[in-house]
Structure 1
């Protein structure tokens, strides 16, 4: 058996000593400054477990030994299941998975940015389900045709009805997790969601160093049910965190560790994902550019901290600050997707997103799907073996020969090459002109229409669909 070597390309922005310094600084911040937590149940839980709590100030200070003990109790890998068993995710090591960005308040529709409704989310979910390199769904749009207090659970209902892929979601209300858990357990035929999680919930601290009442409760409830929770710290360098990248990463680390402690004190071994959505703050425009190279650098660096701690990782990457699908949206998204993949981030959320984190585009999603496929090919690396070196074949063909009709070429070209869809133009100029001289955006619009016309979601069983519909009815017309 011949020996094969493959080096997976990796990106490391921080040396091990720098990682230790950032982690140690975060521990000192948690112990000396602490975190404001606006939830009595969380404060009481921390107090009962030897965290120093000032109930008047709603401030908790975390002893280092408690933090480190809690970090060690987090699972180092998490399996997220799919309804059909064909799209399961294993979050560990350098496995990379992509999902669309979550909770956009707008959708780009034929060049017009507008508020989304349920039908938009249904189409978006059906599209994402068909895309090969979008491995999971998200509750991608904040719909406006359902009463606001029920939007979180109704979005999840739409996703579960229209796709078998796992979903990244989150609750907007204190009681949202409970009803969303019921939806998830209906879909897995009243199974135990702790044993077969098909969703990840986001929990976002408020920078700097604060947890709101609602998000704290969501975190507690997810931990109690053992629903995987993604801790999404969002420091803004220069605005709600230090202007230095290292300082923002220290704050991100402290905020994330505080969430891990809360989850583990609720339920030891509760699955947590070391995630985030930080950004720099643009001093000229007063905006939070998600496509900025420094934003991407913060993401990739904090993911190294998560890996150092042995935890599954997440980041918001693949987004663009452009307001339309153009060159800017292409290069910003590609930068984030490729650098995140090189870092080995387990869950990369963001494909499809424009206008910072506020807008989704179906055309951008199908374009980003191609970028994700290319990034996944790149991290497979270059296989080196006696057969792939092809020394004998080169000798056989010799000067002036052709490799096109060799058996070696037939065997290897599909293994070695990423074969893009018709969205990517690799035609000759004359062929391109004969087919209408279409731009990437034009081809993307046609691809969206084709997929939505040709592909229907895999149906739920009649009993499960009826039960879901019964729950959804009370939210839709409340």
Structure 2
């Protein structure tokens, strides 16, 4: 009996050690860029009607407030400037832009280890947003977000397998000067993670300085243009159906500098977009098609992500409902339209209206993240860490989101059916003269890592074990994991000589 107990204990210990050891890329049961596309809330006929409605909106309503440079580019592409100042887009102009559009975008990482291929229905999860507050989990309150918070979010992202990119999730509210804020945003993000980074600019004139910094980081302009590891998140429209003049100028400067752009249309259903799910999708598609014409008029084939980001609204109160079922459908429907056009696309999912990482946050984040992945959305923005309808960001929630997204990715992987997985040979061996169970069989042990995703922080212990270990709280475990990550130097930190050169040219607010 003693020997049997010892063998079982050793086997359990060995299995736990195997689960906790880092897996090689080829052994991981989930990975960036897994294929989605099986969830289709829209039929082919419905997608066709949305497309036709978007074309009609562009031809008859058009968009206002294009900058003079944009008017020139768009008119050269065949768009029409009306007496009312609105730019209208004949069908042939849109079709030409679709024909010229880049359909196979790679978002590069700085180290080359985490490049993202946006072709087809490949799915990637990451952060995004412009939160103005940080969630203090221990104190249960909100405070202003800082550049150190952004840097810490980047460092945490760098260590999480299921957070595939970092788009700036918060505003550095401790930096009053907008130019310095934009430049420090790039510095804080890129010195914290080598994964792809997305950022925005508050003024067109700041793009040139940002490119100087990025050339330094890349090792020269040619190296930057060959592998641009930062993209521009560009709110080029102010819904409904108006160009954002300065953002369009930012976009033109980013295109000239070789930076990929995210064409971001973020209407609020019931406020700045129609209240129906279909209507909100139509407007977002129309606005992004106008952006696609704009980009390809400036530079045919420039990498541009089709960023339809319509958000839901609680019509009783006017509050945003980022964690609602309607939001999940908006995002999934947009993903289908991206695939309808064969364009790399992105939309928002995973944000929650909950103020803390609690049960509400869990159900809201999983609902939209899972449907976004199953619908084949290339870039799932705001997938982790975002609370209070985009007003607050939480480091602990970012860490917990890594576990949550891991489970969503396992669902996305689906069920493999072949001779090995049907397991008839195993059934014969176990049931006909075998041990009567599958625990410890060679087949079970061989697939325990390649088929199963184990949560890093999620608790699967028995109530007895949970009590014996001090009844650990999930948020407390996430805080401990955060402190462990931040206690180590960032693997993405700049070489000291490069850092000195950057600081000599730019006022960096983070300590050296």
- TM-score range for the pair, normalised by the shorter chain length: over 0.9
Q: How does 1:437-456 map to 2 (within 5 A)?
A: 437-454=471-488, 456=490
Q: Name the residue aligned to 1:249.
A: 281
- Asked if residue 194 in structure 1 is aligned to residue 225 in structure 2, the reply is yes
Q: Does the CA contact (< 8 Å) of 2:128 and 2:166 recur in 1?
A: no
Q: Name the residue aligned to 1:3.
A: none
- Asked if residue 230 in structure 1 is aligned to residue 262 in structure 2, the reply is yes
Q: Among residues 395, 398, 402, which one is paired with 1:362 in the alignment? A: 395
| Number of equivalences | 470
Q: How does 1:377-456 map to 2 (within 5 A)?
A: 377-398=410-431, 401-421=436-456, 423-454=457-488, 456=490
Q: 2 CA distance for matches of 1:277 and 1:252? A: 7
Cα-to-partner distance string for 1:73-104 (whole Å, 9 max, x where unaligned):
11111111111111111111121111112221
Cα-to-partner distance string for 1:282-311 (whole Å, 9 max, x where unaligned):
122211111111122111111211111111
- 2:231 aligns to what SS in structure 1? strand
- 2:389 aligns to what SS in structure 1? coil
Q: Does the CA contact (< 8 Å) of 1:47 and 1:53 recur in 2?
A: yes
The Cα of 1:33 is off from its aligned counterpart by 1.1
Q: Name the residue aligned to 1:460.
A: 494
Identify which range, 27-36 or 450-459, moves more after superposition. 450-459
- 1:416 aligns to what SS in structure 2? coil
Q: Among residues 80, 101, 113, which one is paired with 1:52 in the alignment? A: 80
- Asked if residue 130 in structure 1 is aligned to residue 159 in structure 2, the reply is yes
Q: Does the CA contact (< 8 Å) of 1:101 and 1:357 recur in 2?
A: no
Residues 290 and 471 of structure 1: is their aligned pair in 2 closer, same or farther, counting only changes over 3 Å? farther
Q: 2 CA distance for matches of 1:468 and 1:358? A: 31
Q: 2 CA distance for matches of 1:163 and 1:113? A: 25
- Asked if residue 179 in structure 1 is aligned to residue 214 in structure 2, the reply is no
Q: Among residues 300, 306, 313, which one is paired with 1:274 in the alignment? A: 306
Q: 1 CA distance for matches of 2:396 and 2:342? A: 36
Q: Does the CA contact (< 8 Å) of 2:127 and 2:167 recur in 1?
A: yes
Q: Does the CA contact (< 8 Å) of 1:70 and 1:260 recur in 2?
A: yes
Q: Does the CA contact (< 8 Å) of 2:327 and 2:368 recur in 1?
A: no
Q: Does the CA contact (< 8 Å) of 2:37 and 2:376 recur in 1?
A: no
The structure 1 segments of at least 4 consecutive aligned residues displaced by more than 4 Å after TM superposition are 6-9, 474-477
Cα-to-partner distance string for 1:362-381 (whole Å, 9 max, x where unaligned):
11111111111111122112
Residues 97 and 392 of structure 1: is their aligned pair in 2 closer, same or farther, counting only changes over 3 Å? same
Identify which range, 184-193 or 164-173, moves more after superposition. 184-193
- Asked if residue 169 in structure 1 is aligned to residue 196 in structure 2, the reply is no
- 1:96 aligns to what SS in structure 2? strand
> Where does structure 1 lack aligned partners over 5 or more consecutive residues?
1-5
Q: How does 1:5-84 map to 2 (within 5 A)?
A: 10-54=38-82, 57-84=84-111
The Cα of 1:131 is off from its aligned counterpart by 0.8
Q: 2 CA distance for matches of 1:157 and 1:454? A: 19
Q: 1 CA distance for matches of 2:53 and 2:63? A: 15
Q: 2 CA distance for matches of 1:471 and 1:256? A: 36
The Cα of 1:476 is off from its aligned counterpart by 8.7
Q: Does the CA contact (< 8 Å) of 2:125 and 2:379 recur in 1?
A: yes
Cα-to-partner distance string for 1:406-435 (whole Å, 9 max, x where unaligned):
1111111111111211x1000111111111
- 1:114 aligns to what SS in structure 2? strand
Q: Among residues 170, 186, 191, which one is paired with 1:156 in the alignment? A: 186
Q: Name the residue aligned to 1:284.
A: 316
- 2:64 aligns to what SS in structure 1? strand
Instruction: Tell me the TM-score normalized by structure 1.
Output: 0.94
The Cα of 1:349 is off from its aligned counterpart by 1.2
Q: 1 CA distance for matches of 2:413 and 2:486? A: 31
Q: Name the residue aligned to 2:13.
A: none
The Cα of 1:254 is off from its aligned counterpart by 0.8
RMSD: 2.0
Residues 51 and 475 of structure 1: is their aligned pair in 2 closer, same or farther, counting only changes over 3 Å? farther
The Cα of 1:163 is off from its aligned counterpart by 1.5
Q: Name the residue aligned to 1:320.
A: 352
The Cα of 1:125 is off from its aligned counterpart by 1.3
Cα-to-partner distance string for 1:38-87 (whole Å, 9 max, x where unaligned):
41111122223321114x74310111101111112111111111111111
Q: 1 CA distance for matches of 2:347 and 2:211? A: 24
Identify which range, 29-38 or 139-148, moves more after superposition. 139-148
Q: Name the residue aligned to 1:218.
A: 250
Q: 1 CA distance for matches of 2:261 and 2:357? A: 31
Q: Among residues 167, 170, 175, which one is paired with 1:146 in the alignment? A: 175
Q: 1 CA distance for matches of 2:453 and 2:378? A: 21
- 1:457 aligns to what SS in structure 2? coil
Q: Does the CA contact (< 8 Å) of 1:275 and 1:303 recur in 2?
A: no
Q: Name the residue aligned to 1:97.
A: 124
Q: Does the CA contact (< 8 Å) of 2:35 and 2:376 recur in 1?
A: no
